[in-house]
A = this chain, B = another copy of it.
Amino acid sequence: MKELEAYRIGLIGNGSWATAIAKILSKNLSNIRWWVKDDFVKGHLIRSKHNPTYLTDVEFNPDQFIISTDINEVVFESDIIFLVVPSIYVEKCLERLNVPLKDKILVSSIKGIVPNHYLAVNEFLHQKHQVPTENMGVISGPCHAEEVALERLSYLTVAHQDPKMAEMIANCLRCDFIQAKITDDVIGTEYGAILKNIYAIAAGIAHGVGYGDNFQAVLMSNAIREMERLLYTIDWRDRDINDSAYLGDLLVTGYSFFSRNRMFGNMIGKGYTVKSAILEMNMVAEGYYATRGVYEMKDKFEVKCPIISAVYKILYQGKNPKKVMDKLTKKLD
């Protein structure tokens, strides 16, 4: 395997998490090819050294980046590509590609389901872009972008089936405020990150309709058990569900006020309609789309997932949040 220096690094995305990843990568690397969506973002990054919309306090050194709005150029000129766009934009973002993705090492840090396809991002890359499994990794972790901006100590998990490759990717990320561990549980890490957003919405709804901290703790305790059941069904393997990548990620999303999924759920619990909650927030709550995606898949999994079902009923069937949550409480222990 080549040394890290021999790989050309690319980054796709300009949201808050992509901006956080850019900040982290810039601690170790230069010549990062960074795809952003338009000339406004590109110009702002080059001229004023900030993302104009997300994590605007983070200052970049433009000399470390080759910023481009041409996805084909970024993909073509990169060997390892960090893919960090919200899942609802993945398909659209990649449909402009006429350069093959399949020879690249793709590292997804997208925590959602690709709409219309009901596929996790790696499944989508595999099925629609022929990326082989051995070329795909995942970054996850209990990690709000906002705290990365503040350089508060955070832990990431890098999943790749080849531990050497996982280690190399981890080395791109490790710095004074980032610790990174590796795992070969690629599917579990990706799905854990998807599921936790749904549970964070549930936590927000519970808070919104008036349940307190005691119930919140019970909800999270049930959520991690539900996640464990689901992950075993999706990909049976020996994993400690209480590792940071699963439980830690659930907790940071379920408890933190930075969490947009929790905030979204809270608004729903307080009586906002889904539409008005989405409009009110300037960010994508990945869990909204994930809820539908996972719900559609759940019959395939044949496991009980009362929390996800409850969130689905509220978000997609217009059921009353208070009534649905009250019913859910009888199913938890």
Q: Which residues of A contact B (CB under 8 A)?
A: 141-144, 147-148, 150, 152-155, 179, 181, 210-218, 220-222, 224-225, 228, 240-244, 247-249, 251-252, 255-258, 329, 332-333
Contacts and interface: CB of A to CB of B under 8 A. Distances in A.
Nearest to A154: B214
A247 B179 CA distance: 24
A247 B254 CA distance: 14
Copies of this chain in the oligomer: 2
Contacts of A218: 142, 154-155, 244, 248
B142 A217 contact: yes
Closest 8 CB pairs of A and B: A142-B217, A217-B252, A221-B248, A152-B212, A154-B214, A213-B256, A217-B251, A217-B248
Contacts of A144: 212-214
Given A143-B214, A215-B153, A329 B179 contact: yes
A247 B226 CA distance: 14
B147 A221 contact: no
A249 B218 CA distance: 8
Nearest to A215: B153
Given A221-B247, A224-B247, A247-B220, A152 B215 contact: yes
Contacts of A212: 144, 147, 150, 152-154
B333 A213 contact: no
Residue among A142, A152, A211, A258 with max Cβ neighbours from chain B (10 Å): A142
A300 to B, nearest CB: 24
Given A224-B242, A247-B221, A329 B214 contact: no
A260 B252 CA distance: 21
Given A142-B214, A144-B213, A147-B212, A251 B181 contact: no
Contact of A242 (B211, B214, B228): B228
